[in-house]
Amino acid sequence: MTVLSIDIGGTNFRAGAVLEDGSVIKFEKVPTPSVFCSGDVLADLAGHLKAFSEGLTIDAVAIGFPATLDRDRKRVVQAPNIPFMEDLPVCDYLEEALGVPVVAERDVTFALCFDTDKYDVPDEGLVCGIYFGTGIGNAFLLDGKPLTGRHGAAGELGHIPVPGCTIPCGCGNVGCLEAVAGGKAIARIQRERFPETGIGDMFAFHSEDPAIVELIERMASAVTTEVNILDPDCVLLGGGVLTMKGFPRDLFEEYIRSQTRKPFPLNDLKLLYTEDEPDKSVIGGAIYARRKLAGR
């Protein structure tokens, strides 16, 4: 089965034709606005996918969104980075236009599918993915299937409220965790305290600065919050922040372990650090689509 898997981000649109063994036979990364230019979002998307897959036999389409989706995974509910995709019948439209099954999910769930496959994490039980990038991506797989919640909106660790924080968030609320515990916070600290340091060197040069230490503590408390609520079988950690030069992983883990409930989940806590690969959600989308269409 060949899956056409796409990832629609606020900046870039990625598409890949992925074979059963995970190899990608055709790939593109283009600016998202270049795909959606006529004003008819769904027609643009269908036309682009048809052109991309010309000469290929495509059996299914997987679409990853940086968004909340409805429980049936048919529509985007809220997408601050790609608001033009909100509340459109994207799956039904593409199935009609392309004649193949179309599945949609949050991009972070696709990333988690990629990582559980790559690192041979068993399907059984509850697996959490926490990805520290610009925001905080969060997803769960329960016995291999995404845990969606009643309205499809589960897994929003980045939007846990931080008392006293008044920074507005893209979700519409004020004082969300991802404003103080991820890439946005690093950028703010760099701007306010170390304008002469390149953002990529913030940990390498300033990991003992109190603002950076506090950031690490907040990132750790995000992980601990999830672990103490859910007692998961395994936690996969990833995202660009964790792979930045000089990231103080020992301190991060020390905070996590000190705040995790004892004796359990602490004594059997499985933290797995994943590599940051920009196209993991494209390949992960194909893995997810195969599982879902096979009824697994």
Residues that bind Zn ion (CB under 5 A): 159, 169, 171, 173, 176
Closest CB to Zn ion among residues 177, 242: 177
DSSP 85: G
- Name the minimum Å distance from CB 180 to Zn ion: 11
Closest CB to Zn ion among residues 78, 243: 78
- Name the minimum Å distance from CB 78 to Zn ion: 10
DSSP 75: S
- Name the minimum Å distance from CB 215 to Zn ion: 17
Closest CB to Zn ion among residues 127, 136: 136
How far the first Cα of the chain sits from its last, in Å, is: 15
Contact assessment for residue 284 and residue 25, using Cβ atoms and an 8 Å cutoff: no
CA max distance for the chain: 58
Closest CB to Zn ion among residues 121, 177: 177
- Name the minimum Å distance from CB 40 to Zn ion: 30
Q: Alpha helices of the chain — where are they, by DSSP H?
A: 32-35, 41-52, 90-98, 107-118, 183-193, 202-206, 210-230, 249-259, 280-293
Closest CB to Zn ion among residues 177, 282: 177
Candidates 125, 63, 96; CA nearest to 288 is 63
- Name the minimum Å distance from CB 152 to Zn ion: 16
